[in-house]
Structure 1
Amino acid sequence: MTELIKICLIGTGRAGMIHGKNFARRIENAQLIALCDPSKESLELAQKEVDCQYLYEDYHEAMQNPEIDAVVIVTPTIYHKEIALAAAAAKKHILCEKPLAMDEAECLEMIQAAEENQVKLQVGFMRRFDASFQEAKKVVDSGAIGDVVLVKSLTHGPSEPKPWMFDIRKSNGPIGEVNSHDLDTLRWLTGSEVSSIYANGGNYRSPEVSDEFPDYYDTVAMNLRFTDGKLGLIDGAQYVQYGYDARTEILGTRGSILVGDQGKHNIVVATSDQKLTQPTMHSWMYLFREAYVAEDQAFVDCILNDTTPQCTGKDGLMSVRLVNAGLTSLLENRIVEVEG
């Protein structure tokens, strides 16, 4: 194996370019040599930022380039499987953004293809690489707060949904696009699997799409029970507009842990009109920028050291299983028992 892992970024949108800039400038033993996107305009804008040797509008062409060692897939979820299968067949390692795929069957195909072709498959749950979340995990594992009883996690996104997100057959809605992070966080922090899930939600901020997309929801609350008796609570929302919000609370038998706050900076401004103000966190790209660097570095390291990725295809599969269970619960208004 070469000591320099050469990367192709597939998907050059906002999220993709977080990885693109990292691999171009900040990741050791890695080089971004190719960009791929069906949008010529997006491709040209990305090229101005990172200046790659190879540009592709069709990912099939990228797979034929023997110089590429690994791909980073940052496309809409519905395309993850087909791109990952092509990458595995071409013997290229895979970092795939969350959710891993649309359903469990697709996840299993991706995992099997990676195993059969002996390539790494890492899933992009960047919170596992965030310093605060990692410290919380260490405290949990140390027993300092006793046995974990309840984990609450929320994610609120400020941005207006992209048009394709309104069709939950393509996006799974916020449970997939937003709360897959929370679902993975709960599995990781509890060290347990979910046995049942109940979800409730509604469309409160985009009523104009309700006729065309009656099943769309922008806010959801989920109640989870784990196989070992632990409890979980998740709330998620899109288009909240006030800022990006990601917080977690871990309650134990002898203490608790709080991760995250709503502020962008640790300052509060007092003014003569007797008001206290604090700037809100404006973007997940800012909040987790160092976590993305750590995630991308871990991907390269697991290739070079031939180790298991810190966030595996199975982790991606389990999150998708919970996303689908939560969506079923929401649409059918019932508690869903999670198999296996």
Structure 2
Amino acid sequence: MHKVKVGLISFAHLHAVSYLQALLKRQDVEVVGIADEDRERVEPYIQTYSIPYYADYHDLLNSSVDAVIISSENSRHAEMTIQAAQHRKHVLCEKPLGISKDEMQRMITVCKENGVQLMTSFPNRYIPMVVQAKDVISRGEIGRIVAVKATNKGEMIGGWFNDRTRSGGGSVIDHTVHVMDLLNWIFGSPAVEVYAEASNIFHDIEVEDTGMVHVKYANGVIAALDASWSRTRAFPYKRDLTMELIGTEGVISIDYFAQINEVYSETMGHAEWSYWGDDKDQMLIEDFITCLKEKRPVSITGEDGYNSTIIALAAYESIRLKRPVNL
């Protein structure tokens, strides 16, 4: 059996761990290396799974690897993706695809010029309740969608996420792109106007920890999103994803992280939610590998990454100008 040779570049983003675990479950994948200038960050994984280590990601790209998964700081996505494409390696890039329009366009162009796939990491598309909601809406079962109320709240992680030069922003860019990708995918209609407000309510940090993002779509839908780092460390689960899709003939309510058991343990000092639901990261990895093996286009493209991120960038422009901005 031919195995797809995959390498991981950077564990700066927490999703890298779940991606690695998903890769290791597959018989048709060989994890050929982990590249990270911070060896201490990846030491547990290279030791536990006997995976070759690269201090310089260029050395990994010069190996026989077929594809790489990039989970670096947001500001390095473009540089690493472009380098990978120039080495003829397929790429799965963590969200947001980039932190500026120009660099994202360059990423997409260079991947196409070198004949490699560029997939954006939006695992929420694989959530069964989201897939079913899209199907129901496509069949017109709740009439015409008129509005969406969504939340994507989380815990303030800290570190480079709070450094605007490396992250591109705070909670707005971190939590807007996931939901906007879902709405772009469900509606198949472009966003045309964005209005946003942001503040620091919960933490004394350089970037915003609270954001409200309002989006108008060409099809007439109006969406409102709470994109914030408002979850405290004592909260039982560190993030949420909810959407209420309001149609003329019905409403669909989605709460992805409702699939939990409540755990009360004195060792933690507070209640915990033990999530037992669908593993969206594993489904993302399965789809990425299958697309590469079958030589078909990836399901979530670089363009998809671009189209969600420009909404977040427009939100920052709206915050700066204190008015709605057109896309």
- Please report the TM-score for the alignment, with normalisation by the length of structure 2: 0.90
Contact 2:201 2:210 in 1 (8 A): yes
Once the two structures are TM-superposed, the CA of residue 261 in structure 1 deviates from its matched residue by: 5.8
Within the candidate set 103, 128, 131, 1:131 is matched to 128
4+ runs deviating over 2 angstroms: 48-51, 163-170, 261-269, 279-282, 286-289
Once the two structures are TM-superposed, the CA of residue 93 in structure 1 deviates from its matched residue by: 0.5
Secondary structure of 1:235's aligned partner: strand
- Please name the residue that 1:61 is paired with: 59
Secondary structure of 1:144's aligned partner: coil
The whole-number CA distance in structure 2 between the counterparts of 1:43 and 1:238 is 26
- Please name the residue that 2:193 is paired with: 196
- Please name the residue that 1:15 is paired with: 15
- Please name the residue that 2:208 is paired with: 217
The whole-number CA distance in structure 1 between the counterparts of 2:277 and 2:89 is 27
- Please name the residue that 2:310 is paired with: 321
Contact 1:193 1:226 in 2 (8 A): yes
Which range moved further: 233-242 or 198-207? 233-242
- Please name the residue that 1:142 is paired with: 139
Q: Per-residue displacement from partner, 1:177-235 (whole Å, max 9, x unpaired)? A: 1221011112112221110010012101113x3xxx3xx21011111111121111111
- Please name the residue that 1:162 is paired with: 158
- Please name the residue that 2:294 is paired with: 305
- 1:178-189 correspondence to structure 2 within 5 Å: 178-189=175-186
Once the two structures are TM-superposed, the CA of residue 268 in structure 1 deviates from its matched residue by: 11
The whole-number CA distance in structure 1 between the counterparts of 2:228 and 2:277 is 18
Contact 1:20 1:50 in 2 (8 A): no
Which range moved further: 80-89 or 177-186? 177-186
Contact 1:221 1:235 in 2 (8 A): yes
- Please name the residue that 2:84 is paired with: 87
- Please name the residue that 1:24 is paired with: 24
Specify whether residues 334 and 280 from structure 1 end up closer, same or farther in structure 2 by C-alpha distance, changes over 3 A only: farther
What amino acid is aligned across from residue 21 of structure 1 in structure 2? Q
Once the two structures are TM-superposed, the CA of residue 6 in structure 1 deviates from its matched residue by: 0.6
- Please name the residue that 2:227 is paired with: 236
Identity over the aligned pairs, expressed in percent?
26
The whole-number CA distance in structure 1 between the counterparts of 2:323 and 2:240 is 28
Contact 1:195 1:337 in 2 (8 A): yes
Contact 2:261 2:273 in 1 (8 A): no
What amino acid is aligned across from residue 247 of structure 1 in structure 2? T
Secondary structure of 1:113's aligned partner: helix
- Please name the residue that 2:267 is paired with: none
What amino acid is aligned across from residue 252 of structure 1 in structure 2? G
The whole-number CA distance in structure 2 between the counterparts of 1:92 and 1:7 is 9
Give me the CA root mean square deviation. Answer: 2.1
Contact 1:197 1:325 in 2 (8 A): yes
Once the two structures are TM-superposed, the CA of residue 50 in structure 1 deviates from its matched residue by: 2.8
What amino acid is aligned across from residue 115 of structure 1 in structure 2? K
Once the two structures are TM-superposed, the CA of residue 163 in structure 1 deviates from its matched residue by: 2.9
Once the two structures are TM-superposed, the CA of residue 42 in structure 1 deviates from its matched residue by: 1.3
Contact 1:21 1:50 in 2 (8 A): no
What amino acid is aligned across from residue 254 of structure 1 in structure 2? E
Specify whether residues 97 and 62 from structure 1 end up closer, same or farther in structure 2 by C-alpha distance, changes over 3 A only: same
Structure 1, unaligned runs of 5 or more: 270-278
Q: How many residues align?
A: 315
The whole-number CA distance in structure 2 between the counterparts of 1:57 and 1:230 is 47
- Please name the residue that 1:275 is paired with: none
The whole-number CA distance in structure 1 between the counterparts of 2:314 and 2:276 is 29
The whole-number CA distance in structure 2 between the counterparts of 1:318 and 1:332 is 21
The whole-number CA distance in structure 2 between the counterparts of 1:179 and 1:288 is 23
The whole-number CA distance in structure 2 between the counterparts of 1:4 and 1:261 is 33
Once the two structures are TM-superposed, the CA of residue 164 in structure 1 deviates from its matched residue by: 2.4
Contact 1:262 1:281 in 2 (8 A): no
Once the two structures are TM-superposed, the CA of residue 161 in structure 1 deviates from its matched residue by: 3.2
What amino acid is aligned across from residue 199 of structure 2 in structure 1? G
Contact 1:203 1:217 in 2 (8 A): yes
Once the two structures are TM-superposed, the CA of residue 104 in structure 1 deviates from its matched residue by: 1.2
